[in-house]
Structure 1
Amino acid sequence: MTMKSIARAARNRRVLAVAGVLAVLATSACSQSGNSSGSTSGAAAGGSGKAKIFVIGGKSDDPFWSKVKRGVDDAAKVVQAQGGSVTFLGPQNYDNLGPDAAKLIDSTLSQGATAVIAPDWVPDAEDSALKHVTGQKVPLFIYNAGGLPAADKVGAVNYVGSEEYTAGKAGGTYLGQHGAKHSLCVNTLPGSTNTEDRCRGIDDGIKANGGSSTELPLPSSQFGNQTAVAQAIKAALLKDSSIDSVVTISTSDAGSAVSAVQQANLTGKVKPATFDMDTATLNNIKNGTTLFAIDQQPYMQGYLSVSMANSYVAYGLNLPQRPILTGPAIIDSQNVDQALSGEQAGVR
């Protein structure tokens, strides 16, 4: 199959899966089906009444996490209508991501959480705190980062999100099938499991299609710093003329890649691409200055995680599907207009 066919099929499967999830979550009369495999976090499923849900996420001004929070907030309306509450907690910056996330996770227990939702960004730093949650018989849901293996390792009920390695491999495959020979994966959050998996997937995907990739790790303090990241990418491009594509780990750095290519006078020769998307990225795809974006549907990650946690705590509802995948999908010139419509609505 071509990459477009693969992406189309993946989107169709995802739509069907999401529809199924929403149908189950909306039907409170259904009986508890339980997990088909893995852990149930050590907490007895549901029937305990009002939920007090805590969600650990990224910075409030991070464009990606604003979409996750939009999903969290929309799902929270149902929780609040039932007398429960949802609290979103995020770090001030990403300089000390794992330890800061662990502190936020620990703080949820002292605040009386009846369910916790968190990414497993840096397992070495977070797993102890995550296991503390499940050890206290509080239902835990992993989302966004870590995948099902991380969820099972810490005793979580389920994982909601994209599988980062799979997403990276899809991007690398797309690059290779569209003529790229040497890609640069720019990682401004080195050491984070999800970003490392993304670059590893890019590498394996392009290698399987006759190309190669190099990872460019940059200090996490430069995440979203357009000038610093652009200069680092520009230097790498000028140093190695074989690089013909640049992939950034998020839209916070996507504009830096476009700027770096322009500054190096390599427009047309080097194609930028990125994980995640925003209006600027989608417009760049439309005008041809960015090749593609890899969408993991952050809105659905927030919405489904909160809906599942609430259903589990309040009614004892659970799903047999593990994990619940929200991506990946390749957004390129063929489907960018549809993605722009979702972006303008604030959910993509």
Structure 2
Amino acid sequence: MTSTLLDTVNSRLNPNRRRALALTSALLAAFALAGCAAGGNSANPTASSADGSGAKGVSIVVMGGATDDPFWSTVKRGGEAAAKVVEAAGGTVTFLAMPNYDNFDADAAKLVANVASQNPSAAVIPDWSPDAQNENITSLARSGVPVFLYNTGIDQVDAVGAQAYIGSDDYESGKLAGETFADAGAKHVVCVNTLPGTTNADARCRGVKEGAEPGGAKYQELALPTSQFGDPTAVAQAIKGALIQDPSIDAIFTPGQADTNAAASGIDQAGLTGKVSLGGQNFDTESLDRIKAGSQLFAIDQQGYAQGYYAVSAAFQQAAYGIALTQNPLLTGPALIDADNVDTAVSGVDQGVR
């Protein structure tokens, strides 16, 4: 399915940024066609290997979030779609997931080490916590393994010796959220950060601040313990408490889908549904239903399916054939979902790609 949601972002960006996104979109289309061509010749990516085993022995290892995180399930589905082409050519794709988010930094660093222990031909890694992960990522890259950062780590490619970054720009995601709140008339925006200290969550909250304040809105960050990430009761109570304590808060942003539904519950428990605007990074069917009903203003889509698909594709093509991306970073978002285009997002969810 071809998304048109980036058009929403284009209207908010400067000409240079629009041109970059247009080039990215063109590259994504070309990359998709190349992938189809690779699998369309009797599942044969090379003309010289009639048995379809032109990449026999090539192994791609992909690191991702916890299996019960709905966003990462979408990312994995994208990776699995690309893996079909890899497997048809004789290669393999292995997915390694975080156990949970309770001991985030240490587990993320350990999982990078687990990736290295697989002796991959190429690795796909989200650089959530550079202080914890970069030593192991750098070691892997220096060993000669092509490393592709995806989802998070747009500013860490050179630092760790990675090939490229594939994903959304977390700062721009937050900035788009802040601007959207301000455009809607919000005066006091709160970013609820349940993963403080991680690159993506911190960048999103920083972006919210720098998007909202120029529009006349006050900004505040509500940092919660990482153990509360994905704990709906704890997050809802924290948001309810903040709203009761400060009635001037009129907009809530959560930088992860696991907490958006909890935020909606907290707003409702405070008796402020319809009075406090809600926006979230990523989404599920509940978020889309709220957007359609008018009780959630927007969701920011980083298009996780595309992240998984293009990251696995890029890693495979580099490892198997030496084909390198011509654009770095390769952006998959941010894209704004609101009342104007929510039906398109619903269609994508129905197909399992959003």
Under a length normalisation based on structure 1, what TM-score does the superposition of the two structures give? 0.90
Contiguous gaps of at least 5 residues in structure 2: 1-5, 39-53
Q: Does 1:329 align with 2:335?
A: yes
User: How far 1:219 sits from its partner (Å)?
Assistant: 1.1
1:298 corresponds to 2:304: yes
Match of 2:277 in 1: 271
Deviations 1:6-55 (A, max 9, x none): 52557983643421332455566xxxxxxxxxxxxxxxxxx985321111
Q: CA RMSD in A?
A: 1.9
User: Can you give the 5+ residue segments of structure 1 that lack an aligned partner in the other structure?
Assistant: 29-46
Quick check: 1:60 aligned with 2:67?
yes
SS at match of 1:208: helix
2:85 corresponds in structure 1 to 78
Alignment of 1:20 onto 2:22? no
Please tell me the residue identity of whatever aligns with 1:115: A
Go from structure 1 to structure 2 and tell me whether the alpha carbon gap of 1:216 and 1:230 turns closer, same or farther (over 3 Å shift).
same
Contact between 1:158 and 1:323, CA under 8 Å: does it hold in 2? yes
Q: What is the deviation of 1:237?
A: 0.5
1:140 maps onto 2:142 in alignment: no
Partner of 1:186: 192
| Percent of residue pairs identical | 48
Cα deviation 1:233-265 (Å, max 9, x = unaligned): 000001111110100111111111111111111
Instruction: Indicate the residue corresponding to 1:253 in structure 2.
Output: 259
C-alpha deviations, 1:280-327, integer Å up to 9, x for none? 101110001110000000000000000011111111111210100000
What are the equivalent positions in structure 2 for 1:123-134 lying under 5 Å apart?
A: 123-134=130-141
CA distance in 2, matches of 1:5, 1:63: 25
Q: Are 1:234 and 1:264, in contact at CA under 8 Å, matched by a contact in 2?
A: yes
Flag the 1:5–1:56 CA change in 2: closer, same or farther, 3 A.
Answer: closer
Whole-Å separation in 2 of the counterparts to 1:244 and 1:108: 43
In the alignment, the residues of structure 1 paired with residue 153 and residue 142 of structure 2 have an alpha-carbon distance, to the nearest angstrom, of 19
Q: 8 Å contact 2:55–2:90 — kept in the other structure?
A: no
Following TM superposition, by how much is the alpha carbon of 1:211 offset from its aligned partner in structure 2, in angstroms?
A: 0.8
Shift of 1:220: 1.2
Does structure 1 retain, via aligned residues, the 8 Å contact 2:124–2:148? yes
Matches within 5 A, 1:28-47: none
Partner residue, 1:340: 346
- Secondary structure of 1:113's counterpart equals coil
Q: Is the 8 A contact 1:25 1:308 kept in 2?
A: no
Indicate the structure whose relative CO is greater, using CA pairs within 8 Å and at least 6 residues apart.
1
Secondary structure (helix, strand or coil) at the match of 1:216 reads strand
Alignment match, 2:170 = 164
SS at match of 2:216: coil
Q: 2:29 is matched by which residue type in structure 1?
A: A
Mapped to 2, the partners of 1:240 and 1:234 lie a distance apart of: 10
Aligned to 2:232: 226
Match for 2:223: what amino acid? P
**Matched residue, 2:221:** 215
CA–CA separation in structure 2 for the residues paired with 1:332 and 1:303: 25
Alignment partner of 2:215: what SS? coil
Structure 1 residue 110: Cα displacement: 2.3
- Partner of 1:307 in structure 2? 313
